[in-house]
C-alpha cells in the first residue's frame, strides 16, 4: 500500500521542488517531515527513491495554504530537505521557491486572477516576511512564456516581480542582532545581519580567497570550509540562534570587489555548498548590507539598484531606503510549472486519509 498526495513540481527562480497544498499534508509537523523525506528520497546522496535532485537547490519544498490574515492571500511554508541526512529545516525562507508561489496559488484557485497582471500577497510562515508577487495573467490565466531572463536558468520566461515589504529581522527581529554592524570572530571581521535571511558576511580577502573564485574551488578547499563553519557556528550563537550545527542558518557569504563591473561580488553558501547562482533572500540581504554603512559589504555610493556578481551572472536588487534604514527591496524572478499529478509514498510513513489512500505496487 502507498499513500497518494496531489503534487505540482515547479521551478522557482534557480531552484526546483514539489509544491503542495497544506491540506494535502499531515498537520503534525513530525509526520509531515517524514512525508517530505520520503517524497524527496532522503537520506540518500542520489535521492534515488524520491523526486529530489540530489543537491541543495533541488531538494526544496513549498507548502501553500489560503491565509486567514487580513490583507494576505496565501501562507507559504518553505522546507529545506537535507539530501544526506534525515533532516527537514523550516527555519529559513527561500526566495527562489517563493517565485513559484504566486502562479501556484492562482492555478490552485486560492487567488483569483485580476486582469493582465495579478498581485499575490504572500506571508512567509518561516520568517513572517510579507511579499507581493506580481504574476503575468493575460486573459485571466497564468502564463509562463515571456522575455525575462535570470542568471542560472536557460532561456526566457514571464517575469515575476517580488517585492519584500519587511527586510529586517527575519528570524531575530532586528537587522543587526548583536547591535554592531561589524563583529570580530576568531580575529576575522564579520557582519552578522538578519535581513530577508540571517547571514554571516565575510570579506573573502580576510580568508585568503576571492569573492570571484569558482564555487568548485571554494568547495574543494577543506581548510576554508572548516574555517567558515567554525565562524558560522559562533555567529549563530551571537545572533541568538543557538546551536546551528543542524540548521542552514545563518548562511555564510564571501564578499569582495567585483571584476564584472557590479557593485560587489559574492559567493553564497547554503551553508556547506557554494550556490551556483544567488538566493533571492541572500541577494536582498547583501544589497541591504551594501547600502548600510559600517558593514564588511558596504559599497560607498551604491544606488537604488544594487548589482551583485555571482557565479552565474549579476543579480540586480532594487532597494528603497528611509534614511539609514531599508524600507523595502525586490527582485525579478521567473518560474515554470513542470509536472502536476500524484506523488506516491509508502503508507507506513503516513497512512493518510480516505481520499488519499490507494493501493499501488
Comparing 147 with 323, the larger pLDDT belongs to 147
Q: Cβ contacts of residue 347 below 8 Å, gap of 6+?
A: 1, 2, 3, 357
Confidence of residue 127 (pLDDT cuts 50, 70, 90): confident
Residue 346 lies in a domain: yes
Phi and psi at 60, nearest 5°, equal -125, 155
Residues 283, 343: Cα–Cα separation, whole Å: 33
Judged against a pLDDT cut of 70, whether residue 144 lies above it is answered with yes
Q: Tell me which residue of 62, 11, 61, 19 sits closest to 40, measured CA to CA.
A: 61
Judged against a pLDDT cut of 50, whether residue 239 lies above it is answered with yes
Q: What is the pTM of this model?
A: 0.76
DSSP class of residue 211 equals T
Start-to-end CA distance of the chain, whole Å, equals 7
Residue 167 lies in a domain: no
Give yes or no: residues 250 and 149 share one domain.
no
Give yes or no: residues 228 and 309 share one domain.
yes
E strands of 167-228, at which residues?
183-185, 188-194, 198-203
Residue 32 lies in a domain: yes
pLDDT of residue 235: 98
Residue 104 lies in a domain: yes
Give yes or no: residues 194 and 302 share one domain.
yes
Residue 326 lies in a domain: no
Please write the tens of the pLDDT for every residue from 171-201: 899 999 999 999 999 999 999 999 999 999 9
Mean pLDDT across the chain, nearest whole number?
A: 95
Judged against a pLDDT cut of 80, whether residue 355 lies above it is answered with no
Give yes or no: residues 317 and 343 share one domain.
no
Please write the tens of the pLDDT for every residue from 262-281: 999 999 999 999 999 999 99
Judged against a pLDDT cut of 80, whether residue 225 lies above it is answered with yes
Q: Tell me which residue of 114, 108, 4 sits closest to 62, measured CA to CA.
A: 108
Type and span of the H or E element at 19: strand 15-21
Confidence of residue 353 (pLDDT cuts 50, 70, 90): low
Residue 177 lies in a domain: no
8 Å CB contact between 234 and 208: no
Q: Is 279 helix (H, G, I), strand (E, B) or coil?
A: coil
Count of the separate structural domains present in the chain: 2
Highest mean pLDDT range out of 127-131, 168-172, 255-259? Answer: 255-259
pLDDT (average), residues 296-318: 95
Quickly list H helices, 122-273.
215-220, 222-238
Name which of 136-145, 184-193, 244-253, 345-354 the model is least confident about. 345-354
Name which of 90-94, 97-101, 199-203 the model is least confident about. 90-94
Residue 213 corresponds to which cell in the numbers above? 573564485
Place of cell 553564497: 268
Q: Tell me which residue of 220, 246, 222 sits closest to 233, measured CA to CA.
A: 246
pLDDT of residue 5: 97
Give yes or no: residues 316 and 340 share one domain.
no
Give yes or no: residues 33 and 117 share one domain.
yes
pLDDT of residue 181: 98
Residue 59: give the domain boundaries.
2-159+335-358
Q: Tell me which residue of 51, 75, 297 sits closest to 195, measured CA to CA.
A: 297
Give yes or no: residues 8 and 128 share one domain.
yes
Q: Is 39 helix (H, G, I), strand (E, B) or coil?
A: helix
- C-alpha to C-alpha distances, 90 to 6, 80, 220, 303, nearest whole angstrom: 21, 6, 28, 33
Confidence of residue 356 (pLDDT cuts 50, 70, 90): low
Give bridge partners of residue 134 from the DSSP assignment.
119, 161
Q: Could you give the percent of the chain with pLDDT greater than 90? A: 89
Please write the tens of the pLDDT for every residue from 309-325: 999 999 999 999 998 88
pLDDT of residue 216: 97
Give yes or no: residues 149 and 90 share one domain.
yes
Give bridge partners of residue 324 from the DSSP assignment.
none
Judged against a pLDDT cut of 50, whether residue 354 lies above it is answered with no
Confidence of residue 166 (pLDDT cuts 50, 70, 90): confident
Amino acid at each position: 500500500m502507498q499513500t497518494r498526495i496531489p503534487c505540482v513540481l515547479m521551478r522557482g527562480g534557480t531552484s526546483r521542488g514539489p509544491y503542495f497544498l497544506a491540506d494535502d499534508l499531515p498537520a503534525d509537523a513530525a509526520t509531515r517531515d517524514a512525508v517530505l523525506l520520503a517524497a524527496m528520497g532522503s537520506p540518500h546522496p542520489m535521492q534515488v527513491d524520491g523526486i529530489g535532485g540530489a543537491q541543495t537547490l533541488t531538494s526544496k519544498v513549498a507548502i501553500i495554504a489560503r491565509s486567514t490574515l487580513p490583507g494576505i492571500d496565501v501562507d507559504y511554508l518553505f522546507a529545506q530537505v537535507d539530501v544526506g541526512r534525515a533532516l527537514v529545516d523550516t527555519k529559513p525562507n527561500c526566495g527562489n521557491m517563493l517565485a513559484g508561489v504566486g502562479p501556484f496559488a492562482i492555478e490552485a484557485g486560492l487567488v483569483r486572477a485580476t486582469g493582465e497582471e495579478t498581485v499575490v500577497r504572500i506571508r512567509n510562515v518561516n520568517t513572517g516576511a510579507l511579499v507581493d508577487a506580481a504574476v503575468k495573467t493575460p486573459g485571466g490565466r497564468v502564463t509562463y512564456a515571456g522575455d525575462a531572463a535570470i542568471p542560472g536558468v536557460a532561456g526566457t520566461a514571464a517575469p515575476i516581480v517580488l517585492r519584500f515589504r519587511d527586510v529586517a529581522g527575519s528570524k531575530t527581529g532586528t537587522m543587526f542582532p548583536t547591535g554592531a554592524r561589524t563583529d570580530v570572530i576568531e580575529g576575522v571581521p564579520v557582519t552578522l545581519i538578519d535581513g530577508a535571511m540571517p547571514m554571516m558576511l565575510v570579506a573573502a580577502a580576510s580568508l585568503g580567497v576571492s569573492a570571484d573564485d569558482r564555487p568548485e574551488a571554494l568547495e574543494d578547499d577543506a581548510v576554508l570550509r572548516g574555517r567558515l563553519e567554525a565562524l558560522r557556528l559562533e555567529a549563530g550563537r551571537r545572533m541568538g540562534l543557538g546551536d546551528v550545527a543542524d540548521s542552514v542558518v545563518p548562511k555564510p557569504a564571501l564578499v569582495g570587489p567585483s571584476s564584472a563591473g557590479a557593485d560587489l561580488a559574492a559567493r553564497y553558501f547554503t551553508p556547506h555548498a557554494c550556490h551556483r547562482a544567488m538566493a533571492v533572500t541572500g541577494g536582498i540581504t547583501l544589497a541591504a548590507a551594501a547600502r548600510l554603512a559600517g558593514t564588511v559589504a558596504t559599497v560607498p555610493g551604491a544606488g537604488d539598484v544594487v548589482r551583485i556578481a555571482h557565479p552565474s551572472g549579476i543579480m540586480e536588487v532594487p532597494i528603497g531606503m528611509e534614511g539609514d534604514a531599508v524600507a523595502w527591496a525586490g527582485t525579478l524572478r521567473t518560474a515554470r510549472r513542470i509536472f502536476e499529478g500524484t506523488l506516491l509514498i509508502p503508507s507506513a510513513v503516513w497512512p493518510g486519509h480516505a481520499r488519499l489512500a490507494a493501493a499501488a505496487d
